[in-house]
């Protein structure tokens, strides 16, 4: 039973390029969360998705950032025209429906470096 | 509006002593709580949970206590070991659409 898989583990982009981060949830999980961790800071919620739906994107910057979780395939976090301030570790977590006793399981993260 | 709060950004504890990490919440509808542990450059890993029907849950060296009237929970680690040095996050499902809400974390340093 594979855990949450994120790829790539490390991603280097030049300013202005696009970054695409992928997250394959655990088998049977239909809920995906994306979090960002800046250096010396905690986890900052970005977006919460269920299959084909964005449920809560209150933590997403209004511009350049988008997320999707299609019916088939991984969830994608897309950052257009990256800037140095986007350099951070991005973590994906997945959970299954089953309120209230639901744990989320995290991937190992993608470390984005913008040069 | 921070519904799950960890007010201590960091904590240092001598090896062998007890580590106590605190978490407060504001939403009285929360009925399940989670603790995660995170090492640098790794994803958080689930550590222990507690349901609101209990006031204590124990797993080896880790015990979580829940005080519903005070809307407060704490994670006790005893005895503390060097490998316990990490960031600990408190979390609760039950935000809008059952979103899991995390605190900002407490960095625990175990001193030799």
pLDDT in tens, A8-25: 999 999 999 999 999 999
Measured in angstroms, the CA of A30 and the nearest CA of chain B are apart by: 13
Tell me how many residue pairs between chain A and chain B have CB atoms under 8 A apart: 75
Asked if A65 contacts A54 with a C-beta cutoff of 8 angstroms, the reply is no
- Whether A61 and chain B come into contact, CB under 8 Å, resolves to no
pLDDT in tens, A64-96: 999 999 999 999 999 999 999 999 999 999 988
Whole-angstrom Cα distance, residue B108 to residue B86?
Answer: 5
Whether A93 has its CB under 8 Å from any CB of chain B: the answer is yes
Across the interface, do A33 and B99 touch by the CB < 8 Å criterion?
yes
Partner residues linked to B35 by β-bridges: B48, B90
Closest approach of A82 to chain B, Cα-based (Å): 21
Q: State mean pLDDT over B60-65.
A: 98
Residue B101 pLDDT greater than 60, yes or no = yes
Answer whether residue A6 shows pLDDT above 70. yes
CA distances from B25 to A43, A101, B8 (A): 17, 17, 14
Interchain CB contact of B45 with A (< 8 Å): yes
């Amino acid at each position: 039973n594979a855990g949450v898989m994120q790829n790539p583990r490390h991603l280097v982009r030049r300013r202005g390029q696009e970054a695409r981060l992928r997250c394959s949830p655990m088998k049977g999980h239909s809920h995906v969360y994306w979090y960002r961790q800046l250096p010396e800071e905690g986890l900052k919620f970005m977006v919460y998705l269920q299959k084909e739906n964005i449920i809560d994107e209150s933590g997403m910057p209004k511009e350049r950032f988008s997320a999707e979780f299609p019916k088939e395939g991984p969830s994608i976090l897309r950052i257009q025209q990256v800037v140095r301030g986007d350099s951070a570790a991005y973590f994906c977590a997945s959970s299954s429906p089953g309120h209230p006793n639901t744990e989320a399981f995290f991937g190992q993260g993608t470390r984005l470096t913008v040069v | 509006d921070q519904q799950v709060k960890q007010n201590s950004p960091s904590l240092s504890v001598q090896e062998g002593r007890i580590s106590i990490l605190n978490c407060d919440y504001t939403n009285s509808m929360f009925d399940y709580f989670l603790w995660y542990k995170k090492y640098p450059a790794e994803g958080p890993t689930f550590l222990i949970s507690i349901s609101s029907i209990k006031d204590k849950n124990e797993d080896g060296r880790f015990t979580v206590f829940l005080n519903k009237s005070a809307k407060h929970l704490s994670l006790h680690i005893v005895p503390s070991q060097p490998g316990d040095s990490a960031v600990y996050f408190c979390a609760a499902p039950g935000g809008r659409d059952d979103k899991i809400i995390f605190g900002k974390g407490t960095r625990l340093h175990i001193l030799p």
